[in-house]
Amino acid sequence: MPSIKNDDKSRVIIRPGFYWDRMPAYLFDIDGTLLRSRDRVHASAFAAGVRRVTGLEITLEGVPTAGNTDTAILVEAWRLTGLDASLLVSQAGAIRAAMAEWVSEHQNELDMILMPGVEAALSHLASRNALLGVATGNLEAIGWLKLTRAGLRDWFRLGGFSDSFLIRAEMVANAAEKARQMLAQPEAVVCVVGDTPRDIAAARWAGLPVVAVATGHTSFDELLALQPEVCATTLGDLLAATVGEQR
């Protein structure tokens, strides 16, 4: 994989023959890829949702969250707390609704920043008539609210969320199928854009190419070792390098 840009501030490596901005559809992760939350609203929603529905307490301590799904995080937090699993099964839908309600009630506390180059990259892909969607571990109501508050909602025509999916790979595959149906192209290539090893693994499981960006908690070199089609420090660096190559 040759580097097309590599300086002290940015690194971009693209697999030979892969043209990242020529895909018919894209599925973007939200947290760490499109934006970063500098608040605890979403994180606090798990305990708040459980408390409202059951009166019980859980904690996210010890639960891996990066690249995980809200549904899986809830299950793992419940397990680590030692609560009766059958109660979660019966109350999961109500808890998810309570989580979304909590985030909506506290939306004015959301403090989000966009990752570098996000809007420019979305504009670039949209100018090429690409179908833009999201594939995120967020619950649907929470994911759309974050995008709305961040000013990004109007870019996206479809979404894949974790409400019905414990496993990220299955959610991503389902979202890709939605994109193909919207395009009326059963064989269309759908590209995943994410910032974690879980994004790469999910894309691989679903047979999809992936653009990895090191704007989350995983370093460029760690992402590169997993051999994504594209690895970039940021979407802004990727776009700058691509536009430079096309001139």
The whole-number pLDDT of residue 106 equals 98
Query: For 2-16, 77-91, 157-171, which range has the lowest pLDDT when averaged over its residues?
Result: 2-16
Asked whether residue 22 falls in the same domain as residue 60, the answer is no
**Does position 16 have pLDDT exceeding 60, yes or no?**
yes
Asked whether residue 94 falls in the same domain as residue 163, the answer is no
The whole-number pLDDT of residue 243 equals 74
Domain holding 23: CATH number?
3.40.50.1000
In order, the DSSP letters of the chain are --EEEE-SS-EEEE-TT--GGG-SEEEE--BTTTEEE-SSHHHHHHHHHHHHHHS-----TT---TT--HHHHHHHHHHHHT--HHHHHHHHHHHHHHHHHHHHHTGGG--EEEPTTHHHHHHHHHHTT-EEEEE-SS-HHHHHHHHHHTT-GGG-SEEE-STT-SSHHHHHHHHHHHHHHHHT-TT--EEEEESSHHHHHHHHHTT--EEEESSSSS-HHHHHTT--SEEES-HHHHHHHHHHHH-
Domains held by the chain: number: 2
The whole-number pLDDT of residue 7 equals 47
Tens digits of residue pLDDT in 109-124: 999 999 999 999 999 9
Asked whether residue 82 falls in the same domain as residue 146, the answer is no
Give the mean pLDDT of the chain. 94
Among residues 109, 140, 159, which one ends one of the domains? 109
**Does position 108 have pLDDT exceeding 60, yes or no?**
yes
pLDDT band at 245 (very low <50, low <70, confident <90, very high): low
**Does position 94 have pLDDT exceeding 70, yes or no?**
yes
**Does position 141 have pLDDT exceeding 60, yes or no?**
yes
Query: For 1-5, 61-65, 151-155, 160-164, which range has the lowest pLDDT when averaged over its residues?
Result: 1-5
Asked whether residue 173 falls in the same domain as residue 125, the answer is yes
Residues 50-56, mean pLDDT to the nearest whole number? 96
Domain holding 71: CATH number?
1.10.150
Asked whether residue 68 falls in the same domain as residue 132, the answer is no
Residues 203-227, mean pLDDT to the nearest whole number? 97
pLDDT band at 188 (very low <50, low <70, confident <90, very high): very high
The whole-number pLDDT of residue 1 equals 33
The whole-number pLDDT of residue 202 equals 97
Asked whether residue 71 falls in the same domain as residue 129, the answer is no
- What is the domain extent for residue 174? 3-38+113-246
Asked whether residue 65 falls in the same domain as residue 137, the answer is no
Asked whether residue 20 falls in the same domain as residue 142, the answer is yes
The whole-number pLDDT of residue 247 equals 36
The whole-number pLDDT of residue 88 equals 94
Asked whether residue 189 falls in the same domain as residue 96, the answer is no
Residues 94-106, mean pLDDT to the nearest whole number? 98
